[in-house]
Structure 1
Amino acid sequence: MINKILNFTDLHFREEDKQKVLENVKSNISFRGSNLWVLACAIVIASIGLNVNSTAVIIGAMLISPLMGPIIGAGFGLGMYDSELVKKSLKNLLIATIVSLVVSTTYFYLSPFKETQSELLARTSPNIYDLLIAFFGGLVGVIAITRVEKGNPIPGVAIATALMPPLCTAGYGLAIGNYKFFLGALFLYTINCVFICISTFLIVKYLNYPAVKQVNARRQKQIKYGMTALTLVMMIPSIFFAYNLFDEKKYNQKVNEFIENEFTDKGYTILYKKINLKTNPKKIDLAFLRKKFNTEEITSLNKSLINYNIENTKLNISQDTTDIKKYILDQINSGKTNLDAKDITITQLKNEIASNKYNNKRLLDEIKIIFPEVDNISISNHSFNKNTDSSYVLPVLIYESKTNLSELSKQKLKLWLQKRLSKDKIEIYKQESN
């Protein structure tokens, strides 16, 4: 059974002749003539895609990019202890990198559109997942080129490992003078190159490609130790980035839950929201369309952050109409706001839905603390006819309980709900059993 499994997963099955594979690898290393022109054109296409935030254009540029050639060549050179192949591959990779940076920087410098799009931002903060994508993408790529039938993996590897977009983003960082973007994107590009190279090295060793003759044991050990050290140097910062990304997402989820329960569910329309993680303490800045909070309410809301496990954070609620007007004007001037009749109608409908929405589960959990005999509740707004010409809307709570609440308990529950939901009047009824 074990032999059958090993035969089933054997990479030597339908393997291409090693000499032919090496000739193919070496022919794709050099960046001269047509290869250099293809690279420059691919860089321009990728830069345009990043500039206009078009994923399809970026994918197209990745498919025609010839950057994988020297990286695969370096992996083969290391696996076969061929120092000449390694030198030639790294030299051509350096040439390709410099050409790509020059072309992308020139494009973004001349482009009138310099707004940082989401596709650009996605290439400025590498993490552990980028490392894994590069490694396993590299494995697929080198396995594919050592097969008799190359199949479909090669284009997919070019898209997955994404060598082109980080280089263009680095050029964008240089063009606008943002060196944080430049270094972050360049680090992502370096991660991709190194781990594609490492995965190639491992497959070359597994497939027993012959080592270059007249290589001493000391030289082989130096290469092995160098590969190990390089892997660790790349992994440690990537894990740090991945942890920061996970921590930030977890924090944002808690903040969104807090805002939904304390504001959105109560029908308060939030005009803007800003979360600043770089200050100490962290800050949540909010502004509301109509609702005004007094000092006691703001203090109480800051204390309630602990209930959501949001620590070392200060909630600021801006209620200065001058600041709110300035924010709206800034949004309009930056082109981020497009107010028309449709937007106003949508906002009004959202406000109406929010004002008629209640968190029954959360309210039940709170009510059971005060009135443990209550088994279940349902609360919603109901319209009552005042006379033939007008009507009014009231929240109505229907509760389920084995025993009726006393009049005193009903009054306490009614007063508590009026305060909890900021309503002037509430009706309470018991659900009659069938």
Structure 2
Amino acid sequence: MKKEINKVLNFIDLHKGEENKRKVIENITSSISFRGSNLWILACAILIASVGLNVNSTAVIIGAMLISPLMGPIVGAGFGLGMYDFELVKKSIKNLLIATFVSLAISTIYFYASPFKEAQSELLARTSPNIYDILIAFFGGLVGVIAVTRVEKGNPIPGVAIATALMPPLCTAGYSLALGNIGYFLGAMYLYAINCVFICIATFIIVKFLKYPIAQQLDIRREKQVKYGITILIMLMILPSIYFAYQLFVEKSYRLKTEVFIKKEFTDHDYPIIYKRIEYNSNPKKIELAFLSKKFNNEEISNLNKKLIDYNLPNTQLLIQQDTFNISRDILNKMNSSKDLVDKKDIIINSLREQLSEYQFNNEQITDESKVLFPYISSLVIGNYSYKNAQNTKIIPVVLYQSKKELDKEMNHKLKSWLKIRLAKDSIEVYRQPFK
């Protein structure tokens, strides 16, 4: 039994493949300083990350994280604490503060000068940290410091840079300063602090486990002060993040309940919804809907609001937009601008179902022809779709076809070209209506 246990311990032994400790310390010490090339690399990485957040490009943000040198002083601080080398700790913190200040300054200037001020989803994701961010930072830090102490560094280092994500929170804080949004700034800086602290703590644990040489012998009292300080720092980071995680859970739960309410009261009754917006942070909370053709009187709306309690949606108001003229006029603008709309094709298809009855072609012959030319098509309906804008009313022939599988790009182009010639129209829209 003891032999089996020794085999397991030998299998997971972290000392295997370990780099010479003196060489690791030298490498860590040299990566701390933000002077010359390191400062230029940091500045370029911050600009790249800011552009990525500005245009909502995940790939660009990942690229910036890969070239960022911010991990150096954080890991250095962890090594300093683990070895009780307080000079190394001071040097690491000093350089981290320099890097943080430079990053904030550059990102603030960029976002202040940028003509695009809208907060994109990648940016907003860095304003509300929670307990999961702590787990990512801690285990990412563990992987990072284990890789640093190996002879063969391997692939983990780039992955750690991406997972722990030090650059985006700093750029988000710069965006917040440029726009004067204190709430976003505090959230972003809190996420940055979480990443720094828990990478440092993960480093401290591995340094202690691998028994790196102690720089100076501490008395028991001073050693306890260090441990108490780390414990207090952990609690200061964890407690708010648990609260934020709970708030996130409550919000997700609320949105799930609203979807159940909408499905049972509207979707299951075949009322096509063309607009949906849920305002969770308002008081009272609001569910705003617009329907393609269904009209609700005041009594029905009042009864629906009363039903919100049955779905465990207290302090919530249901608002139904019923100005069909404005909805028809703005439907295309809403499709392009609102993040809460249903799929664009679904909107157009639902709209066409209602309008085709008024603008129906006598298209039996065309349907028969299409089945010969395009065997995959089982049925085809053609109608005129009209919509109004500020200048005029446009009427476009629209084709809805049914098929078991969607036509490929080439066949779809042929179908469209044939219909243009067959109907003698310059412009035409073609959509597939899937089988139910």
TM-score by length of 1: 0.75
Contact kept, 8 Å, 1:120 with 1:169, in 2: the verdict is yes
Shift in CA distance, 221/337, structure 1 to aligned 2, threshold 3 Å? closer
1:254-333 residue pairs with structure 2 within 5 A?
A: 254-320=257-323, 328=330, 332=333
Q: Secondary structure at the match of 2:117?
A: coil
1:27-426 residue pairs with structure 2 within 5 A?
A: 27-320=30-323, 328=330, 332=333, 336=337, 346-350=346-350
CA distance in 2, matches of 1:247, 1:333: 28
CA distance in 2, matches of 1:327, 1:176: 33
Q: Secondary structure at the match of 1:307?
A: coil
CA distance in 1, matches of 2:222, 2:322: 69
The runs of 5 or more residues in structure 2 that have no matched partner are 355-436
Q: Does 1:16 align with 2:19?
A: yes
Q: Runs in 1 of length 4+ with deviation above 4 angstroms?
A: 324-327, 351-354
Q: Secondary structure at the match of 2:290?
A: strand
Deviation at 1:335, TM superposition (A): 6.3
Code of the residue aligned with 1:247 in structure 2: it is V
Contact kept, 8 Å, 2:42 with 2:68, in 1: the verdict is yes
Shift in CA distance, 240/145, structure 1 to aligned 2, threshold 3 Å? same
CA distance in 2, matches of 1:309, 1:317: 20
Deviation at 1:112, TM superposition (A): 1.2
Deviation at 1:266, TM superposition (A): 2.1
Q: Secondary structure at the match of 2:309?
A: helix
Identity of aligned residues (%): 68
Shift in CA distance, 66/260, structure 1 to aligned 2, threshold 3 Å? same
Code of the residue aligned with 1:336 in structure 2: it is S
CA distance in 2, matches of 1:164, 1:273: 34
- Deviations 1:203-228, CA, capped at 9 Å, x for gaps: 11111112112432222111100000
Deviation at 1:270, TM superposition (A): 2.4
Contact kept, 8 Å, 1:51 with 1:113, in 2: the verdict is yes
- Deviations 1:248-269, CA, capped at 9 Å, x for gaps: 1111011012112211232223
Contact kept, 8 Å, 1:267 with 1:351, in 2: the verdict is no
Code of the residue aligned with 1:349 in structure 2: it is I
- Deviations 1:105-137, CA, capped at 9 Å, x for gaps: 111111111111111111111111111000000
What is the count of residue pairs matched by the alignment?
A: 349
Code of the residue aligned with 2:105 in structure 1: it is V
TM-score by length of 2: 0.75
CA distance in 2, matches of 1:348, 1:36: 52
Deviation at 1:8, TM superposition (A): 1.2
Q: Which is worse superposed, 247-256 or 281-290?
A: 281-290
CA distance in 2, matches of 1:17, 1:104: 39
- Deviations 1:238-297, CA, capped at 9 Å, x for gaps: 111111111111110110121122112322232322222234442222222322111221
Shift in CA distance, 22/174, structure 1 to aligned 2, threshold 3 Å? same
Code of the residue aligned with 2:258 in structure 1: it is V
Q: Secondary structure at the match of 2:41?
A: helix
Quote the RMSD (CA, aligned, Å). 2.6
CA distance in 2, matches of 1:37, 1:327: 51
Contact kept, 8 Å, 2:292 with 2:351, in 1: the verdict is no
Shift in CA distance, 264/333, structure 1 to aligned 2, threshold 3 Å? closer
Deviation at 1:326, TM superposition (A): 12
Shift in CA distance, 253/93, structure 1 to aligned 2, threshold 3 Å? same
Code of the residue aligned with 2:337 in structure 1: it is K
Shift in CA distance, 49/16, structure 1 to aligned 2, threshold 3 Å? same
Match of 1:420 in 2: none
Code of the residue aligned with 1:12 in structure 2: it is H
- Deviations 1:306-344, CA, capped at 9 Å, x for gaps: 33332332222233568x569949x94996179xxx96x
Match of 1:25 in 2: 28
Q: Which is worse superposed, 259-268 or 62-71?
A: 259-268
CA distance in 1, matches of 2:262, 2:237: 38
Contact kept, 8 Å, 1:105 with 1:175, in 2: the verdict is yes
CA distance in 2, matches of 1:37, 1:279: 44
CA distance in 1, matches of 2:329, 2:20: 66
Shift in CA distance, 162/353, structure 1 to aligned 2, threshold 3 Å? farther
